[in-house]
Chains A and B, each alone.
Chain A
Amino acid sequence: MNNPYIPYLAMVKDIRPETAGERPINTYTLVFKDESVWDVFKNRPGQCAMVGLLGVGESMISICSSPTQKGYLQFSIMKMGKVTSAIHELEAGDTMTIRGPYGNSFPVDDWKGKKILTIGGGIGQAPLRPIINYVLDNRKDYQSLQLIYGARTAADLVFLKELQELQQANGAQVNFSVDRPEDGWNGYVGFVPAYLMDLKPSPENTIAITCGPPIMIRYVIENLLKLGFKDEQMYTTLENRMKCGIGKCGKCNVGNLYVCKDGPVFCYTRLKTLPPDME
Chain B
Amino acid sequence: MATERLKEIARKVLSRDDVTCLIGYRRGSYGFRISPCFLTSPDEAEQLVISPLCLHNLATYLTAENIGPLVKTKDEKKNKIALMVKGCDSKAITNLIAEKGIDRESIIIIGIPCTGVVDIKKLEARFPGAVAPATVEIKDGMWVVAIEGTTVAIPLDELLAEKCKRCKHPTPLVYDELAGDPVAGKEDAYDDVKGLETQAIEERLVKWQEELGKCIRCYACKNVCPLCYCSDCALDRLRPQLIRRSVSVPENLLFHVTRSFHLAGRCIACGECERVCPQGLPLMELNRKLAKDVQEIFGYETGLDPEAKPILSTFTIDDTDEGIL
Instruction: Tell me if B297 counts as interface (CB < 8 A to partner A).
Output: no
* B238 within 8 A of partner (CB): yes
Within 8 A of B (CB), among A201-238: none
Measured CA separation A85–B238 after assembly (Å): 12
B interface residue count range (under 10 / 10 to 19 / 20 to 34 / 35 or more): under 10
Q: Is the interface of A mostly helix, strand, loop or mixed?
A: helix
A253 to B241, CA, bound (A): 26
Per-residue contact bits, chain A 65-98, to B (CB 8 Å; 1 contact, 0 not): 0000000000000000110010000000000000
Judge if B139 is at the interface, Cβ distance under 8 Å. no
Chain A residues near B241 (CB-CB < 8 A): 82
Residue B74 at the A interface, CB < 8 A? no
Judged by a CB distance under 8 angstroms, whether B126 is at the interface is: no
Interface flags for B200-244 (1: CB within 8 Å of A; 0: not) read: 000000000000000000000000000000000000001101000
Which residues of the partner chain B approach A81 to less than 8 Å between Cβ atoms?
238-239
Report chain B residues within 8 Å CB of A82: 238-239, 241
A82 to B238, CA, bound (A): 7
Residues of A contacting B239 in the complex (Cβ-Cβ under 8 angstroms): 81-82, 85
| Mask of A237-258 contacts with B, CB within 8 angstroms, 1/0 | 0000000000000000000000
Q: How far is the CB of B83 from chain A (nearest CB, A)?
A: 32
In the complex the two chains form, what is the Cα distance from A81 to B238 in whole Å?
A: 9
Please give the distance in Å from A23's CB to the nearest CB on chain B: 14
CA A82 to CA B239, docked complex, whole Å: 6
Closest approach, in angstroms, between the C-beta of B234 and any C-beta of chain A?
15
How many Å from the CB of A53 to the closest CB on chain B?
Answer: 14
- B residues near A85, Cβ cutoff 8 Å: 239
Q: What CA separation (Å) do A85 and B239 show in the bound complex?
A: 10
A59 to B241, CA, bound (A): 17
CA distance A82 to B241 in the complex (A): 10
Q: How far is the CA of A85 from the CA of B241 in the complex (A)?
A: 14
Chain B, Cβ-Cβ closest to A57 = B238
Identify which of residues 73-100 in chain B touch chain A, using a CB-to-CB cut-off of 8 Å.
Answer: none
Tell me the residues in window 224-271 of chain B with beta carbons closer than 8 Å to chain A beta carbons. Answer: 238-239, 241
Bound-state CA distance A5–B316 (Å) is: 55
Contact mask for chain B residues 106-135; partner A; CB cutoff 8 A; 1 contact, 0 none: 000000000000000000000000000000
Give complex CA distance A209, B239 in Å: 35
List A159-176 residues whose CB lies under 8 Å from chain B: none
Which A residue's beta carbon lies closest to that of B241?
A: A82
Binding site for B on A (CB under 8 A): 81-82, 85
- Which residues of B pack against A, CB within 8 Å? 238-239, 241
Q: What are 6 pairs between A and B in contact, CB < 8 Å? A: A81-B238, A81-B239, A82-B238, A82-B239, A82-B241, A85-B239
| 6 shortest interchain CB distances as A-B pairs | A82-B239, A82-B238, A81-B239, A81-B238, A85-B239, A82-B241
